[in-house]
Chains A and B, each alone.
Chain A
Amino acid sequence: MRLVIAGLVCVTCSALAAAANEALSRPTYNTYGLPGLIDMPSAESAPDAELAVSDSYFAGTNRTTLSFQILPRLTGSFRYSQIANYLAPGSPLFDRSFDLRFRFLDEGRYRPAMAVGLRDFIGTGAYASEYIVATKHIGDRVKVTAGLGWGRLSSNGGFSNPLSVFGSGFDTRPVRGVGLGGTVVANTWFRGPAAAFGGIEWQATDRLSFKAEYSSDAYTKERSDGLFAYNSPFNFGVSYDVTDKLNVGANYLYGNTVGIQATFTFNPKHPSKYTGSVGPAPAPVMVRPSGSAADLGWTQQVDAAEILERNLSLTLASDGMELEGFSVDARTVRVRVRNDRFLHEAQFIGRVARVLTNLMPASVESFVIVPVTGNGTPTSVVAIARSDMEELEFAPDGSWQSYARAEVSDAYGVAGSIPRVGSAFPKFTYGFGPYVAASLFDPTSPVRADLGIQASARYEPRPGLVMSGQVRKRLVGNRSGLIPSNSVIQRVRSDANIYAAQGDPAITHLTIAQYFRPGPDLYGRVTAGYLEPMYGGVSAELLWKPVDSRWAFGAEVNYAQQRDFDQLFGFQNYCVVTGHASAYYDMGNGFHFQVNAGRYLAGDWGATLIVDREFDNGISIGAFATLTDVPFSQFGEGSFDKGLRITIPLAVLTGRPSRTEISRDIRPVLRDGGARLEVDGRLYDSVRDYHEPELEDGWGRFWR
């Protein structure tokens, strides 16, 4: 944890260092999916924010690793490995492990870059090891690495621990039982014998590099399991960049075995080649002829407002925006608009304002735009002067100037005063299509999935009152083969295999919800019905989020009853009152924190910490962990609930406007402790989109 804190403190200094390092050759990934040599680590870091998925195979060992350059100096990895014969002949180990590496020293003219790393520091410990490593470029194309390893990285050529000068406690490494895994076992770190490793990498061309290393890993267990014969500590490898995103490599390992690997990298900072998207241009601003603003003749026309409303509604609809409220007088137009198309709310608001310059009579100077969430909640008021639109359309710094001149305030009270557009309600939408439901990391199969068809419908008779439901019918799949639960606490999530087997067809949700504004800065939601595949009941939520605040606080209380395995209308006997108090904080430097504290589905009390690195293009990558009063021994494998989560908006990949996002939680194992109810339409994410600092973060798109 200290590493993480040190990393956060160092954000600024490392940003500068990162720029300097980019001049040197890009690191290649090792068989553990981190920047490094072949089997050994190096002191290098990937470019900031780089995400790498790698797969390596040799001698019955397959490692699939997801690495993320969390900060310029801090690398984190999650790995899923399969090691043949590990548990018994013919019985492989499916192992999940986490790594961290912190580069604490930058490369200088004479001094090397240095890093400290923990391999498999949470998990069952098959790869548990620690290292300190230094890497130095010699010229532009040669890198030399040398390091000291502990744990597994001292199994070849180990000598007595040099850290023992700090105390005899470093002499021996406490035995870490494979046990349940999942916990941080800091009392073994850097203890026991140490060993030296090292190697060299030569970048022959821009795409091709050769590596040689001396490994301090003896692969004791794998050798005794008969996976390969160990003839030499020397490894040789070749690495080739097929494209700037894909690297492939081949290694000759331990004197008699050939291994292969492939690494795919993706940088959330540069998600596609078309920055700013290739979606259609916005309507050009229409400039009023001088003097025309004085003409108020139109206000005498009886049906003027009606005609303007109709034209505006049609024009907005053609660009994926829904006019829900409208009023106009001689100087001011007020609109409530829902955004169905644009990921960036500022882009949406800019487009509404552009359309208004085209359609409103010349005397209307003030545009009051109230954006509404997807669930009909008015969130903020953005007031824009029409003359600013005219003046700044081509202003060199028009983005910043228009932001500075726009006024953003709370929509409470304002939204209600705008008459509703009659044709906007009721809203009815439906969908029909295929679905994939996947379960990752089942001990007997890394990926299990069901494929089928689903139908959904949504009905909103008036703003904020939403009825919706979805039915799924499986066509093929093997999620019912997930291993049966061995949980000793209430089985609130671990019966996924039975739900998968019996829910065919299944009603995944069927709810009625009301979204409302109980007061200034306050947002409310009440949802009732079949809330999610496993639970039904009633859910109530209240959120406090001032329009210009980085902080938000929320509270949610639910009464939930476990649904029948067939996921139709029946319930089982288990019911629980569950809920959380939540605090949200947007740090402003790309990091977002959320804490939920309260009672979870199994009746356990505890708290969840979620840390996300959010990119202004909508991509976010984060990690979460939950500790509750369920003891690790009762929780079972993994000891407590934790995982990674990734959100990628489709728009950043396609370059086309869309609000669809691909979101995925990646958990090493899903069990019953620290399990939260899943309810659609939780308030925070939709509300903050139209608040500060999110609006400002996306304002570069105002004129797009």
Chain B
Amino acid sequence: MTRALISLLACLVIASCGSSGGGVAGMAIGAARGLVGANPKPADLRKTLTPEVIASLPGSVMLIELPERGAQAGVLRVTQNGPNVTWAGQDGSTVAFNDGILTATRGLGSDLMSADLRDVVAAVYGNGTEAVRIHRHLDGEDQIYSRSFVCRYSAASGQRAKVLTGDFEATLVRENCASSDIEIDNLYWIDGSGVVRKSKQWVGPDAGYMLTELLKG
């Protein structure tokens, strides 16, 4: 029936072209994708991001993955606003971190519009064992809604952590957060210089968890 709806849609807006480019055909195909949720599968970045490639990229490089979407992106650091650093991928999406903690995403769909991390940053870095985080997303009617979590923290030092570029010794901080309807577990591997080199962080209800690996600082 989804297919039927798509064909109906296709009938209503069939392919056309003109000075404004791409046109309605591309949109209809996009519509099909939006409904079915299919995404084309590109090459595995874990194979193509070789040390040489990483070295040739300008500035800082991070690998991000969304396992629930089967999506990967290599992102480059583009700018900083206060403690928030924005990274951009080639596909046009951006992600932003506050001291390694995810604070916003754009272009992933079901984006994290903002995150209130007031006490979270301190707790992740060992100052406090409890914090509240508030996430904001857009709903199906494009209205902002918020979801708050109460989080607890525990840390284990002397852990070996593995990223694409090699191993390092890390403090593993585990963040367990509960909201009224869901529970999430974020993990941060912090190296000796206090940098989150690897993490698993929850983005939102549809995108699921994001895995990050800092490949070049």
| Residue B106, interface by CB 8 Å | yes
List B contacts of A429 (CB < 8 A).
18-20
Look across to chain B and name the residue whose beta carbon is closest to the beta carbon of A658: B27
Please, what's the 1-or-0 string for A441-475, where 1 marks a CB less than 8 Å from any CB in chain B?
Answer: 00000000000000010000000000000000000
How many chain-A residues does the 8 Å CB contact rule pick out?
64
Look across to chain A and name the residue whose beta carbon is closest to the beta carbon of B92: A280
Look across to chain B and name the residue whose beta carbon is closest to the beta carbon of A266: B5
Beta-carbon contact of A700 and B114 below 8 Å:
no
List A contacts of B106 (CB < 8 A).
281-282, 704
Beta-carbon contact of B94 and A617 below 8 Å:
no
| Residue A89, interface by CB 8 Å | no
Beta-carbon contact of B20 and A340 below 8 Å:
yes
From B37, B114, B139, A395 is in contact (CB under 8 Å) with B114
| Residue B63, interface by CB 8 Å | no
User: How distant is the Cα of A285 from the Cα of B85 in the complex, in angstroms?
Assistant: 11
Which residues, 104 to 144 on B, are CB-close (under 8 Å) to A?
Answer: 104, 106-111, 113-116, 134, 136-144
| Residue A439, interface by CB 8 Å | no
Look across to chain B and name the residue whose beta carbon is closest to the beta carbon of A281: B106
Please, what's the 1-or-0 string for B58-82, where 1 marks a CB less than 8 Å from any CB in chain A?
Answer: 0000000000000000000011111
Beta-carbon contact of B16 and A434 below 8 Å:
yes
The stretch of A70-78, A271-279, A521-529, A530-538 in contact with B is A271-279
A660-B13 contact, Cβ under 8 Å, with A284-B78, A394-B114: yes
A281-B93 contact, Cβ under 8 Å, with A398-B114, A662-B12: yes
From B37, B92, B143, A273 is in contact (CB under 8 Å) with B37
Beta-carbon contact of A264 and B5 below 8 Å:
yes
Beta-carbon contact of B11 and A436 below 8 Å:
yes
Look across to chain B and name the residue whose beta carbon is closest to the beta carbon of A699: B144
| Residue A246, interface by CB 8 Å | yes
List A contacts of B30 (CB < 8 A).
654-656
Beta-carbon contact of A654 and B31 below 8 Å:
yes
| Residue B177, interface by CB 8 Å | no
From B34, B79, B116, A272 is in contact (CB under 8 Å) with B34
User: How distant is the Cα of A456 from the Cα of B5 in the complex, in angstroms?
Assistant: 27
Beta-carbon contact of A271 and B31 below 8 Å:
no
| Residue A233, interface by CB 8 Å | no
Which residues, 35 to 50 on B, are CB-close (under 8 Å) to A?
Answer: 35, 37
Q: How far is the CB of A390 from chain B (nearest CB, A)?
A: 7
| Residue A477, interface by CB 8 Å | no
Beta-carbon contact of B34 and A284 below 8 Å:
no
Beta-carbon contact of A243 and B17 below 8 Å:
no
| Residue B199, interface by CB 8 Å | no
List B contacts of A285 (CB < 8 A).
79, 81
Which residues, 392 to 407 on A, are CB-close (under 8 Å) to B?
Answer: 393-400
List A contacts of B17 (CB < 8 A).
431-433
A431-B19 contact, Cβ under 8 Å, with A390-B81, A394-B96: yes
A700-B142 contact, Cβ under 8 Å, with A279-B107, A281-B92, A654-B30: yes
A433-B140 contact, Cβ under 8 Å, with A654-B31, A658-B27: no
User: How distant is the Cα of A483 from the Cα of B113 in the complex, in angstroms?
Assistant: 55
Please, what's the 1-or-0 string for B1-21, where 1 marks a CB less than 8 Å from any CB in chain A?
Answer: 110110001011111111110
Beta-carbon contact of B19 and A428 below 8 Å:
yes
Q: How far is the CB of B53 from chain A (nearest CB, A)?
A: 23
User: How distant is the Cα of A650 from the Cα of B4 in the complex, in angstroms?
Assistant: 16
User: How distant is the Cα of A281 from the Cα of B93 in the complex, in angstroms?
Assistant: 5
Q: How far is the CB of A380 from chain B (nearest CB, A)?
A: 19
| Residue B84, interface by CB 8 Å | yes
Chain A contact residues: helix, strand, loop or mixed: loop
List A contacts of B27 (CB < 8 A).
650, 654, 656, 658, 660
Q: How far is the CB of B4 from chain A (nearest CB, A)?
A: 8
User: How distant is the Cα of A270 from the Cα of B30 in the complex, in angstroms?
Assistant: 17
List A contacts of B4 (CB < 8 A).
264
Please, what's the 1-or-0 string for B82-110, where 1 marks a CB less than 8 Å from any CB in chain A?
Answer: 10101010011110101000011011111
How many chain-B residues does the 8 Å CB contact rule pick out?
62
Which residues, 325 to 357 on A, are CB-close (under 8 Å) to B?
Answer: 340, 344
List A contacts of B150 (CB < 8 A).
none
Q: How far is the CB of A651 from chain B (nearest CB, A)?
A: 9
List B contacts of A654 (CB < 8 A).
27-28, 30-31, 33-34
Q: How far is the CB of B132 from chain A (nearest CB, A)?
A: 11
List B contacts of A267 (CB < 8 A).
140
Q: How far is the CB of B96 from chain A (nearest CB, A)?
A: 7
User: How distant is the Cα of A242 from the Cα of B13 in the complex, in angstroms?
Assistant: 27
Q: How far is the CB of A242 from chain B (nearest CB, A)?
A: 7
Please, what's the 1-or-0 string for A590-618, where 1 marks a CB less than 8 Å from any CB in chain B?
Answer: 00000000000000000000000001110
| Residue B24, interface by CB 8 Å | yes
Beta-carbon contact of B19 and A430 below 8 Å:
yes
From A264, A431, A700, B20 is in contact (CB under 8 Å) with A431
User: How distant is the Cα of A395 from the Cα of B94 in the complex, in angstroms?
Assistant: 17
Look across to chain B and name the residue whose beta carbon is closest to the beta carbon of A242: B1
| Residue A223, interface by CB 8 Å | no
A262-B1 contact, Cβ under 8 Å, with A275-B206, A278-B108, A650-B13: yes
| Residue B23, interface by CB 8 Å | yes
Beta-carbon contact of A616 and B81 below 8 Å:
no
User: How distant is the Cα of A273 from the Cα of B140 in the complex, in angstroms?
Assistant: 8
Beta-carbon contact of A700 and B143 below 8 Å:
yes
| Residue A653, interface by CB 8 Å | yes
User: How distant is the Cα of A664 from the Cα of B15 in the complex, in angstroms?
Assistant: 19
| Residue A141, interface by CB 8 Å | no
| Residue A221, interface by CB 8 Å | no
List A contacts of B18 (CB < 8 A).
429-433, 456
From A281, A433, A664, B16 is in contact (CB under 8 Å) with A433
Look across to chain A and name the residue whose beta carbon is closest to the beta carbon of B135: A396
| Residue A94, interface by CB 8 Å | no
| Residue A111, interface by CB 8 Å | no
From B2, B11, B84, B138, A246 is in contact (CB under 8 Å) with B2
Beta-carbon contact of B1 and A264 below 8 Å:
yes
A662-B111 contact, Cβ under 8 Å, with A273-B37, A275-B140, A280-B92: no
| Residue A17, interface by CB 8 Å | no
A433-B15 contact, Cβ under 8 Å, with A650-B31, A660-B27: yes
7 more A-B residue pairs beyond the given contacts A273-B34, A275-B138, A281-B92, with a C-beta to C-beta distance below 8 A: A273-B206, A275-B110, A285-B81, A287-B80, A436-B14, A700-B143, A703-B114
Which of B's residues lie within 8 Å of A, judged by CB? 1-2, 4-5, 9, 11-20, 23-24, 27-28, 30-31, 33-35, 37, 78-82, 84, 86, 88, 91-94, 96, 98, 103-104, 106-111, 113-116, 134, 136-144, 206
CB pairs A–B below 8 angstroms (27 shown) = A243-B1, A262-B1, A264-B4, A269-B140, A275-B139, A275-B142, A279-B92, A280-B91, A280-B93, A281-B106, A284-B78, A285-B79, A340-B20, A396-B134, A397-B114, A400-B144, A431-B20, A433-B15, A436-B12, A616-B141, A616-B143, A650-B27, A653-B34, A654-B28, A655-B109, A656-B34, A701-B142
